[in-house]
Structure 1
Amino acid sequence: MVAGRGTDLLRPATSSGRATFLELFFDLAFVAALTRVSQRFADVGDDTGWTLVTGLGRTLLLFLALWLIWSHTIWITSRYEPERPVIQAVVVGTMFAALVLAVTLPHAMEERALPFAVAYLMVMVVRPLVVAAALHGHPRQRVPFRLAAWSAASAPLWLVGALGPDRLRPPLWAAALAVDYLAWALGWPLPRLGSAGVGRWRIAGEHLAERHQQMFLIALGESILVIGAVFGGVDYSAGRIAAFTVAFTTSALLWRIYFHRAGRLLNEALGRTGMPGRLGTASERTHGLLVLSVLVTAVGYHLVIDDPFGPPRPTWLWFVVGGPALFLIARVRLDYEILGRVSWSRMIGLVVLLLVTTGLARWAPMVGLSVVAGVLALVALLDALRGRRRPLEDSVPQIGPESSGDTRAEE
């Protein structure tokens, strides 16, 4: 660690890996935002054809913008001491912007596009400049400057998309997000400075892992809210009571499958890795898929509880089957990242879901939800049987630090 001005902002090795109360408070804004994402997905649930595809694509785009902001925030609190006043101010400011994003999100592709874009850019451009100023010339100051530069480069796409015709907004914002995500993947390279080696970053790995786990639990909590809100707003019937029960069981199974072995060992894997930047980046992408899968699954709950034994709705399978299938794909990826192996129980579950999808298109929605719950129960059972035969293994991260021969200084 480099001594000098700005050093007191860095996380010391003795800093607690637990999330602070402010960070948990910050997550409340994202509860509201994720609720709006679920609502937008549900709004397109009855659409068909190209209308359904465009509706899903627009909502996915907004989710990716939210996820980028949340991910950058947890990296800030994993690299810098979250108890410092300037970092607390950054978190509170980001929370306000996230709340603006949540409020504007239902109509962000329509009349509220400008406040959505401005709130996003305030976080992506202004926040890193505040962090850079607080670092007072420390070598790590280059990273927030890089981020601000790249975000400023994509800003015209966000603003033109917000101010221009509605039909141009999705492609312009998709291009802007592509720039923002690509910049992060490349380490925000700049002329003469090169790129920031994220894989060499020293972060509080256990803190980052806990924040990923907490966001997954927040997404599960959102699914529980959907179940309760929808069931509480309709007339009770035997079919809806059954759908309510199966939906809750499905969320409980998602929790069980996530935390079996790899999900539980995430903290250990990121804590034991000497320089967990690369593993942390991979985990962030995997948890983005996991959170998205739970939100999509929750939309399936909404649709089925509302009309469990109505006519077959093939488009609903995007949510009823697609969400759990995406969850299993992401969970297989997490197993490989943490344990260095492929989970056959999850692969079996994924294959079964894909095989039965066509047949489920001919049955009432309740049948599809029940079959999905049965497949997830099978995965959980296979996990339990394997766990009884084998002790809990140590984490064997497949995405770790760069080779020791890389002697470039960490930024």
Structure 2
Amino acid sequence: METNGSWLRTRGQRDSGKVSMTELFFDLVFVFAVTQLSHTLLEHLDLGGFLRTSALFLAIWWLWIFTSWCTNWLNPDTTAVRLLLFALMLGGLVLSSSIPQAFGATGLAFGLLFAVMQVGRSLFMVRAFRGHRDQRDNFLRMSLWLLLSGAFWLAGGLLEDQQRLICWLVALGIEYAAPAMYFRVPGLGRSRTSDWDVDGAHLAERCMLFVIIALGESLLVTGATFAGLAWTPATVAGFLAAFLGSVAMWWVYFDSGAEHASHRIAHSEDPGRLARVAYTYTHLLIVAGIIVCAVADELVLVHPDHASPAGTVAILGGPALYLSGNALFKWLTRERRFPPLSHLAGLVLLALMGGWVALAHPSALSLGIGTTLVMMTVAIWETRALRRGRAPGHASEA
């Protein structure tokens, strides 16, 4: 019979920090969530739709990253932990299913289920760390913060439209501020980053896998959209631009940045501090960029000859979010004086494309090809700069 002590990983043993098949199985639920978010944004491509989809994305990301932190300590080969993850998977599927109508008929289901999943998982961690006072108190503080935000999630589900959005934004503000405030609770003190003694390599791998999931889903949506269209020169060009853009996005993140960051956090004296900033907060920009780029790719394929103002924002904004997230991520994990020059140059080029839009009103296809060329330029620039930087007598900021 398993005891709560056996629910925890044993650190230091061979493969103790390896991402398990149970964790990978859990992550697959979020393929559906990413699809739902991109489709919801595509159907409501205006300021209100952007705000609502952003709130839902922030909630989904927070649920996933908090669970990833927890499984960093939990042993997924134990029955209790597997049952926890399977329960969260079921909740995640229902939560994802409610996304399209989260500000309508399924709002109460979304708010209630999200609060229950967040609080329930944290209380599980309190029990798992019984006998480990510092970690137990850490998750007890976290549970209290999540109970507070949960009240706003539930209240929002009971309200309608704008009031629901306001309540849920307050809930998100509480949850996102909590780690930055070290989960301070009167009478219980505050946490320390040393309490968050994560296995850096494990958390880095989880985030890398999430990025792969998001990029893979983007490609699947592109392929499915292209399959339903007539193969004209415009749609073929849009398809190739979307594919090459996805490859360039993969290259920007995985060619050197992800591996270097994984090594850095694995050997950090305070991995909790680096994990909080570089992975918990910064990665949400990267994933958000992928989701918006998926929306942009579909717009370019379906409406290559015309770009609405909202569509233009999506086509330029997706790569801008992605490059901004990667620039911050690499800056934080490489201890540079400045973010990578290649990424800053890419952001400047995107800004110049915004000026081009104001002057010439280019088609969606032209914009899509342009953003792909920007992403490819950044990928090639960084790769060449890093290769030169490894040569004797050279230094590079990429």
Both proteins in one fold, TM over 0.5: yes
* Letter paired with 1:351: V
The equivalent of 2:35 in structure 1 is 35
The equivalent of 1:86 in structure 2 is 80
1:369 aligns with 2:365: no
Q: How many residues align?
A: 383
The equivalent of 2:387 in structure 1 is 388
Distance 1:189 1:7, change over 3 A: farther
| 2:6–2:78 Cα contact (<8 Å) kept | no
The equivalent of 1:56 in structure 2 is 50
- C-alpha distance after superposition, 1:236-281 (max 9, x if no partner): 2121111011100000000011123222212211111133001111
The equivalent of 1:321 in structure 2 is 316
1:303 aligns with 2:302: no
SS at structure 1 position matched to 2:98: helix
* Letter paired with 1:29: V
SS at structure 1 position matched to 2:197: coil
How far did 1:37 drift?
0.3
1:20 aligns with 2:20: yes
Distance 1:302 1:312, change over 3 A: closer
Distance 1:258 1:8, change over 3 A: closer
d(CA) in 2 for partners of 1:392 and 1:112? 57
| 1:19–1:210 Cα contact (<8 Å) kept | yes
- C-alpha distance after superposition, 1:34-80 (max 9, x if no partner): 110001111123xxxxxx11110000000001111101111011123
d(CA) in 2 for partners of 1:243 and 1:189? 50
* Letter paired with 1:66: I
Distance 1:290 1:5, change over 3 A: closer
The equivalent of 2:353 in structure 1 is 356
SS at structure 1 position matched to 2:16: coil
* Letter paired with 2:29: A
How far did 1:220 drift?
0.4
The equivalent of 2:261 in structure 1 is 266
Question: Map of 1:6-405 to 2, 5 A cutoff?
Answer: 6=5, 9-14=8-13, 15-45=15-45, 52-139=46-133, 140-284=135-279, 285-309=281-305, 311-341=306-336, 342-360=339-357, 362-391=361-390
| 2:7–2:128 Cα contact (<8 Å) kept | no
The equivalent of 1:409 in structure 2 is none
SS at structure 2 position matched to 1:187: coil
* Letter paired with 1:149: L
| 2:244–2:372 Cα contact (<8 Å) kept | yes
How far did 1:204 drift?
1.1
How far did 1:200 drift?
4.2
* Letter paired with 1:165: E
d(CA) in 2 for partners of 1:135 and 1:312? 54
- C-alpha distance after superposition, 1:92-138 (max 9, x if no partner): 12111111111111101110011111210111112221222233342
Q: State TM-score, norm by structure 2.
A: 0.92
Distance 1:10 1:190, change over 3 A: farther
SS at structure 2 position matched to 1:196: coil
| 1:124–1:147 Cα contact (<8 Å) kept | no
| 2:239–2:301 Cα contact (<8 Å) kept | yes
Decide which moves more: 146-155 or 294-303.
146-155
How far did 1:302 drift?
0.7
d(CA) in 2 for partners of 1:248 and 1:313? 22
| 2:11–2:17 Cα contact (<8 Å) kept | no
| 2:103–2:164 Cα contact (<8 Å) kept | yes
Decide which moves more: 230-239 or 70-79.
230-239
- Identity across the alignment (%): 32
d(CA) in 2 for partners of 1:237 and 1:282? 45
Root-mean-square deviation (CA), in Å?
A: 1.8
Question: Structure 1: where are the runs of 5+ without partners?
Answer: 46-51, 394-411
| 1:11–1:80 Cα contact (<8 Å) kept | no
d(CA) in 1 for partners of 2:4 and 2:378? 53
How far did 1:188 drift?
1.6
* Letter paired with 2:295: V
* Letter paired with 1:304: V
| 1:5–1:138 Cα contact (<8 Å) kept | no
SS at structure 2 position matched to 1:63: helix
| 2:7–2:80 Cα contact (<8 Å) kept | no
d(CA) in 1 for partners of 2:82 and 2:270? 25
SS at structure 1 position matched to 2:77: coil
| 2:112–2:157 Cα contact (<8 Å) kept | no
How far did 1:203 drift?
1.4
